[in-house]
Structure 1
Amino acid sequence: MDSEFLDEIPQYNYCCDDSLLIAMQKNKPQFISLGAATLILMSGGMHLSLSFAIPDPFLCVYWFKGSIIGALIGIICCQIVKKKKFILTSSLLIIIDGILLASLSEDNYGVILARFINGIASGLTFVPLLILASEESVCNKRGLLVTTVETMSISLGIFLYLFIYFVWTKLPHPPIHLIQMLGLLNIVQGVIALIVQWFFYVESPMFYLVREEENEAMDSLRRLQYPFVITSKTHQQLKEHKQYIAHNKELTCVSSLVSSLPALLVLCLYRSLVALNYSKPFYYVMFFCSTVLYGTEVWAFVIMGTLRCMGIFLNMYMIDTFGRRQPMLFGSIVCGSLSVVIGMMFDQFPEMIFRHRMSIIVYLMLMIQFFTGIFIGSSSVYLSEAFPLEIKPVFIGITFIVEMLVQVNYIVTFDFINSSCYFYSTAITCLGFFFIGLLLLPETKRNTLREAQIKFNLLS
């Protein structure tokens, strides 16, 4: 596939003729359809943050192990099972996880089992969610939809846990244990997800078109935009979906694998950076510095979660206007530069423990979380666009598993004495990715899935 063919692809007006507010109102059913999955990943974000607060690595890793197992199940079953069943199953698992946490908060094995179940639910949801978001969105709002339902939901979960942790440290006599509170929130999230998924979910039109059920696909498209009527734009979307499927049917499995391998390697590196910029070493260094400065006060963690969400919120509204590349490249080079500075400060350990140096490190780490929010949103969007239809679940799942393995590696191997090595490795990876992304990752804003896929295929 060459660039000349890309120029022949028709550009549809439905991708760019709406103002932001009108488009948001018109496409609201797409966000509601994916609302259950958003709640599931939010609960996963809470457990992700809890993993770093647990001192015992043995207890930390079970959420990540469950996530890997869930992703493997998603890879195997995603193309043959309706995605509604994935989300319903995950919602039930979240409820079970919450019940276990609420009732067995003092039992280590009960907490391990609950976290393992939550990890399975999160991994099980991740692969079908990104596929659904890419297939249900209109092309000029794909970045906003995917970033909201994946990146923002996990980061909101991180913020929610940090906020509850902050409140619990302020209460002289908390009414219940922090783990029990987490369990109750998981139960609420699971119940709401179950209701939303049962009543408001709309199956992907691609699911029906692959099975040559065109009437059902048209009905899905009708229900995914407001008002619920079939218009000329609905027919245009159906036509583009059919062309996307026809284009993918022409690809053999071998050609799909070969053409997508460069994109897979780059996006695995990208998701590794997502893990590096909020990992156990980062959490421990932040905890150490804030403890030296502020004692038992943990407000810095709340600011950290807030800034991360603010960065993602800014990215959500840049990603379909400025594009995917500019926020990604800008965020990566800033995070890499800040990590170099922190690494150099940790090299000077005796001087580092002075309060003014500690405060500088805390402020720099807070800045990293803001720019991480700007930086990471494009990874979700690229994952939803990059791969051919047949191997899409496999390659999305592989990138997610790589991200989880990076987290597990740092949980098991991290030593506070080597904190400078962590920040230097993060800096090298961020700055290296800046040049790789600059050279290899295409701009896909306002492109249809077929156009985006062709641009990624040109990497090979």
Structure 2
Amino acid sequence: MTIAYVTAGPDPSPTKDYAEGYKPNIPSREPSIQINSSTSNPGSVRQINKQINVACAVFFLYVYGGMDFAHSAGWNQTLNTTATQVFKCSWFIGVLAGAALASLTMTFLPKLPFYVLGGLMQLTGSIIFTCKPFDYGCLLAARYVAGAGIGLITVPFLIHSAEVATDNHRGVSGSMEQCGLALGIAIQVIYDTQWVDDKEASVNEVHGIIGIVFSIIGLGMTALSIESPIYYLRIKQKEKARKCHAKLLGSFNHSVDQEFEEIQLYVAESQKRTFCQELRISVVPFIKLLLYRGFVAFSFSLPLSESLIKSALLTEGFISCWPVTVWGLVRLLGALVAQGFLDKLGRKFVSLVGLLCMAILMLCMAASYANPANALMTYYMYQVWRLGLAFQAFAGLFVCSSSVYLGEAFPIKVKPFFVGYIIGFEQTIHIINIVGYNKGYENFFYHYYLSVGIILLVGVVFFGIVIPETKKTTLREATKLFQRLQNIRLF
């Protein structure tokens, strides 16, 4: 090394070399050393926070959405009005309608108006719950409005979160949807079962007050969100796109120009293709994620809730017992664990482990219901709620990756339409679960758990073959991986 430095040092004509554009190697190394050291700077943490600002804002909006979700899935024990089948389905119908509207309009609109409008609709629904807690018609309208608000938020968010986060943080950003829903579910389950009748305030009033708080916080935080550079590149406003990109990554990041070139290439590849071409190459990803997100609907449903409620009442004698409280919390715990692994260990392996355990546990619950008389026996009902607790924990592990995959799988032009359709399909499964349970017979739980358990078990094999691992890949690379028929690699 010493000989090399001595040989390179004495340059007989330095002036001539600089005039010809020669740049010595040593100075060029100094900036790289400074940049590498700046990655541990607190400024890098601030820039990561900027990337997930929109995820944090929408997180609070999803918390109230999770409360309405749980309210529709059986956790309305102290409801002041009759929870009819229409009442239970209303929120899901609202989400379906909102998702359809968002998918048709977001191609030419920025994301922020959807968050603001969706948050205002949720705020409206929560205010109605607070002001008219005993009026069935008003409560039904509130659920339609709040559901439509969540639908308006979900489609833009799943796309936006993938576009503004770096390749190393897409998992954390996208999984905020399911984490927010899980927290809302936990709040609703615990609050609904621990509430006693001698309280002065109506249970619906408290539901609305909590919704008002989270809706206002979410609406306030939307002001901190940054629009996707991809949106501005699509409408040919390159300077605005560069400014947004610089805000997201920060000037300290040595790869800001390289990553901007990558998203330019991502947009340019899409612009070269026609809408029909993108539609054709999206058929395989669409089938994969239609089934994958459909499985999410089986992770929390009215039959699961009613099974736990009935088994807890039989074994503990009352619903405000510790198994129900823990049942509400373990899904959130599983989702948080999954969120921590999505960008490190990967999406696929964690999700498949969760799905495999879900399938096994559901088949075990089916065995507990094999004989209709078992539903009246304490021993078997103890097994049911214990298995139900474990099921929700592993469900939390599984569901988070679906949000991330929806933001990665499709080309730009068709992404809103496919994401909106898949979200609508998920709500349709929830509605079918509600209608099917209401029309079920004595042995409904056995047939439901057996059929769904088999479906989930087959899904483990299918998704293990076709779902790709997209950890630390660019959006362009992730989209191409989804277009492949098989993706065996687990890590």
Name the structure 1 match of 2:240: 216
Distance in 1 separating the partners of 2:255 and 2:121: 38
Distance in 1 separating the partners of 2:290 and 2:334: 22
Distance in 1 separating the partners of 2:472 and 2:39: 12
Alignment deviations for residues 37-80 of structure 1 (CA, whole Å, 9 cap, x no partner): 22222211100100123542121111011111100111111111
TM-score by length of 2: 0.86
Question: Secondary structure, in 3 states, of the residue corresponding to 2:226?
Answer: coil
Question: Secondary structure, in 3 states, of the residue corresponding to 1:82?
Answer: coil
Residue of 283, 287, 291 corresponding to 2:305 = 283
Aligned residues: 439
TM-score by length of 1: 0.91
Name the structure 2 match of 1:459: 485
Evaluate the alpha carbon distance shift between residue 22 and residue 446 of structure 1 in structure 2; reply closer, same or farther with a 3 A threshold.
farther
Evaluate the alpha carbon distance shift between residue 18 and residue 400 of structure 1 in structure 2; reply closer, same or farther with a 3 A threshold.
farther
Asked if 1:446 is matched to 2:472, the reply is: yes
Asked if 1:426 is matched to 2:452, the reply is: yes
* Identical counterparts, % of pairs: 26
The alpha carbon displacement at 1:109 in A equals 0.5
Evaluate the alpha carbon distance shift between residue 344 and residue 29 of structure 1 in structure 2; reply closer, same or farther with a 3 A threshold.
same
Evaluate the alpha carbon distance shift between residue 114 and residue 375 of structure 1 in structure 2; reply closer, same or farther with a 3 A threshold.
same
Distance in 2 separating the partners of 1:409 and 1:20: 51
Evaluate the alpha carbon distance shift between residue 86 and residue 455 of structure 1 in structure 2; reply closer, same or farther with a 3 A threshold.
same
Distance in 1 separating the partners of 2:226 and 2:271: 24
Name the structure 2 match of 1:258: 280
Question: Secondary structure, in 3 states, of the residue corresponding to 2:285?
Answer: helix
Query: Which is greater in Rg?
Result: 2
**What are the equivalent positions in structure 2 for 1:108-257 lying under 5 Å apart?**
108-147=136-175, 149-169=176-196, 173-198=198-223, 200-225=224-249, 228-229=250-251, 231-257=253-279
Question: Secondary structure, in 3 states, of the residue corresponding to 1:27?
Answer: helix
Evaluate the alpha carbon distance shift between residue 260 and residue 365 of structure 1 in structure 2; reply closer, same or farther with a 3 A threshold.
same
Asked if 1:84 is matched to 2:112, the reply is: yes
Residue of 329, 332, 335 corresponding to 1:312 = 335
Question: Secondary structure, in 3 states, of the residue corresponding to 2:369?
Answer: helix
Letter in 1 for 2:260: L
The alpha carbon displacement at 1:205 in A equals 0.9
Letter in 1 for 2:155: V
Structure 2, unmatched stretches of 5+, are: 1-34, 77-82, 487-491
Name the structure 1 match of 2:382: 359
Letter in 2 for 1:272: G
Letter in 2 for 1:48: F
Asked if 1:377 is matched to 2:400, the reply is: yes
Larger RCO (CA under 8 A, 6+ residues apart): 1
Is residue 55–residue 174 contact of structure 2 (8 Å, CA) maintained in 1?
no
Question: Secondary structure, in 3 states, of the residue corresponding to 2:169?
Answer: helix
**What are the equivalent positions in structure 2 for 1:383-402 lying under 5 Å apart?**
383-402=406-425
Distance in 2 separating the partners of 1:77 and 1:218: 24
Is residue 302–residue 433 contact of structure 2 (8 Å, CA) maintained in 1?
yes
Question: Secondary structure, in 3 states, of the residue corresponding to 1:139?
Answer: coil
Distance in 2 separating the partners of 1:444 and 1:258: 21
Bigger Cα displacement from structure 2, 262-271 vs 31-40: 31-40
Residue of 60, 71, 76 corresponding to 2:88 = 60
The alpha carbon displacement at 1:413 in A equals 1.7
The alpha carbon displacement at 1:419 in A equals 0.8
Is residue 40–residue 121 contact of structure 1 (8 Å, CA) maintained in 2?
no
Bigger Cα displacement from structure 2, 248-257 vs 19-28: 19-28
Alignment deviations for residues 95-135 of structure 1 (CA, whole Å, 9 cap, x no partner): 11111000111010010000100000000000000111000
Distance in 1 separating the partners of 2:241 and 2:144: 36
Bigger Cα displacement from structure 2, 411-420 vs 286-295: 411-420
Evaluate the alpha carbon distance shift between residue 47 and residue 19 of structure 1 in structure 2; reply closer, same or farther with a 3 A threshold.
farther
Asked if 1:72 is matched to 2:100, the reply is: yes
Alignment deviations for residues 116-170 of structure 1 (CA, whole Å, 9 cap, x no partner): 00000000000000111000000011111111x211011111111112213313x
Question: Secondary structure, in 3 states, of the residue corresponding to 2:195?
Answer: helix
Structure 1, unmatched stretches of 5+, are: 1-13
Distance in 2 separating the partners of 1:35 and 1:310: 18
Bigger Cα displacement from structure 2, 394-403 vs 215-224: 215-224
Is residue 342–residue 423 contact of structure 1 (8 Å, CA) maintained in 2?
yes
Bigger Cα displacement from structure 2, 363-372 vs 255-264: 255-264
Asked if 1:296 is matched to 2:318, the reply is: yes
